[in-house]
């Protein structure tokens, strides 16, 4: 049953309970580990926020550069078209008038598209859904206010 070199142990002997100083030491180690973990998480969060701030700045700069390049490209195309029209009509005045008319037509088309999109947003189904959503929100808010006033009245009556 047991080796001859080992003394037999009592089956009912309780294991020694950890001392309170050992428990405090483990709680201290746990606190230190939690502090290190959250410290590392905060350091990581700060680094990620720094990268995000930098990315937003670079995105704004890239958007500005794309806008400038797009405007420059549009002006170049209009200039080339003006030169072609001037060669075709034999007159700079006629070519500039045609370019102005093309720009007015493009502007008018953009305005019509914008108005059509605004109309799509105000279609009866969309308006009905919007009103239903607003009625539901108002009903929820009123029920929450009523519940709070009932709780307030019930607590005041107990005092």
Asked if residues 95 and 82 have their Cβ atoms less than 8 Å apart, the reply is: yes
Backbone angles phi, psi at 158, to 5 degrees: -80, -25
Alpha-carbon span 77 to 60, nearest angstrom: 26
- 30 in a structural domain: yes
- 7 in a structural domain: no
Q: Please provide the DSSP assignment of 134-146 as one string.
A: HHHHHHHHHHHHH
- 112 in a structural domain: no
Mean of pLDDT over the chain = 82
156 against 45, higher pLDDT: 45
Which tokens sit at 93? 């005045």
Average pLDDT, integer, range 81-107: 94
Domain that holds residue 37: 22-92
- 99 in a structural domain: no
- 86 in a structural domain: yes
Q: Please provide the DSSP assignment of 39-79 as one string.
A: HHHHHHHHHHHHHHHHHHHHHHHHHHHHHHHHHHHHHHHHH
Q: Is the pLDDT of residue 131 over 90?
A: no
- 130 in a structural domain: no
Q: Is the pLDDT of residue 111 over 90?
A: yes
Asked if residues 55 and 61 have their Cβ atoms less than 8 Å apart, the reply is: no
Counted domains in the chain? 1
pLDDT score of 13 = 53
- 117 in a structural domain: no
Average pLDDT, integer, range 100-107: 94
Q: How far apart are the first and last CA of the chain?
A: 72
107 against 22, higher pLDDT: 107
- 149 in a structural domain: no
pLDDT score of 50 = 83
Report if pTM > 0.85: no
């Amino acid at each position: 049953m047991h080796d001859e070199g080992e003394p037999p142990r009592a089956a009912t002997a309780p294991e020694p309970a950890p001392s309170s100083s050992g428990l405090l030491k483990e709680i201290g180690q746990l606190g230190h580990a939690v502090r290190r973990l959250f410290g590392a998480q905060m350091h990581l969060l700060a680094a990620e926020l720094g990268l995000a701030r930098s990315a937003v700045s670079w995105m704004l700069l890239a958007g500005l550069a794309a806008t400038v390049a797009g405007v420059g490209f549009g002006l170049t195309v209009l200039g080339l078209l003006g030169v072609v029209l001037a060669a075709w009509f034999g007159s700079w005045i006629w070519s500039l008038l045609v370019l102005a008319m093309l720009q007015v037509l493009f502007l008018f088309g953009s305005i019509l598209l914008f108005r059509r999109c605004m109309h799509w947003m105000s279609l009866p189904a969309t308006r009905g859904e919007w009103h239903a959503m607003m009625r539901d929100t108002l009903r929820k808010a009123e029920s929450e206010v009523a519940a709070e006033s009932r709780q307030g009245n019930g607590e005041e009556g107990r005092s």
